[in-house]
Amino acid sequence: MEALLLDLALGAYLIATLAAGVTLLQPNLKATRLGVLALVAGFMLGSVVLLVRSLRLGALVLSGGAEQVALFSWLVVGIYLVVQLRSRLAALAGLVGPIGFIGALAALGSSEQPVDVPELLRSPWLPVHITLAVVGDAAFALAGLVSAIYLWQERQLKARATGKALARLPSLETLDRLSFRLLAWGFLTLTLSIMAGALWAELAHGRMLNWEPRTIWTVVVWLVYALLLHGRASVGWGGRRAARLTIVGFCVLAVSLVGVRLLAPGSHSGAYG
């Protein structure tokens, strides 16, 4: 049942990606609509699977890398759809589609492994901590994507180059503002996630912070984004510089997500990390 739903979700994301590709090459209202609708369908299917699994498990499904990837991409698609409601960003669907696809694939791969959740980790603060962290990561990832599109569009405009695809992209101003908003929301959720995590650590281990690599990296990530937001809000950084820093910020985040998990052991790298 879950596998079938996930197969359907895979199909939906594939359609969304193809439709976005078509739109980019040859502006086409029908394809644009189809793409967004397919993303909505994929997102709904993903939501159902997530709900079913979590109910069966009695806890939020976060039992390891694949599940987190699935949750992460589910959120990226979700946030994208919310953004799409307000500003027309069909161009982004071409990038969000594959992310959703990978997420559904990860969920499919991890579908047969119900994990026994240790009693220690059954605190309500843990899922809050992890959920907020993944929401923040998803927002930062989208901010990075938006910034990448910004840089591309900016370079084209500077070079006075034109192209069909360019005409379908949102304006520099729109992209810049969107990236800023995503950063702000991401930063807020990241901060809340750190607080929830500290609270949980305090309750579970009696310590607010354990200085393991992942925690340190997270603090680095938090500082990078804090600096970036400060620069944007009060120094007036914007445009190219802000876009580049947003991408740098996401790279640091990616290192903390992937690299630390693989290389350095700790409470964040286990089945529940």
The binding site for other proteins (CB under 8 A) comprises 27, 153, 157-158, 160, 162, 164, 166-167, 169, 171-174, 177, 236-241
Task: In angstroms, give the least distance from the CB of 48 to other proteins.
Answer: 36
Asked whether 90 and 32 are in contact (CB, 8 A), the reply is: yes
Task: In angstroms, give the least distance from the CB of 176 to other proteins.
Answer: 9
In whole angstroms, give the CA distance from residue 219 to residue 221: 5
**Cβ nearer to other proteins, comparing 110 with 179:** 179
Sign of the alpha-carbon torsion through 133, 136, 142, 143: negative
**Cβ nearer to other proteins, comparing 230 with 241:** 241
Asked whether 265 and 220 are in contact (CB, 8 A), the reply is: no
Q: Which residues, at least 6 apart from 31, have a Cβ–Cβ distance to it below 8 Å?
A: 19, 20, 22, 23
Task: In angstroms, give the least distance from the CB of 169 to other proteins.
Answer: 7
* Cα–Cα nearest to 100, from 122, 142, 137, 70: 70
Q: Which residues, at least 6 apart from 224, have a Cβ–Cβ distance to it below 8 Å?
A: 245, 248, 249, 252
Rg (CA), the chain: 19
Task: In angstroms, give the least distance from the CB of 77 to other proteins.
Answer: 25
Task: In angstroms, give the least distance from the CB of 145 to other proteins.
Answer: 18
**Cβ nearer to other proteins, comparing 137 with 176:** 176
In whole angstroms, give the CA distance from residue 206 to residue 225: 28
**Cβ nearer to other proteins, comparing 123 with 174:** 174
**Cβ nearer to other proteins, comparing 141 with 172:** 172
**Cβ nearer to other proteins, comparing 177 with 212:** 177
Task: In angstroms, give the least distance from the CB of 240 to other proteins.
Answer: 6
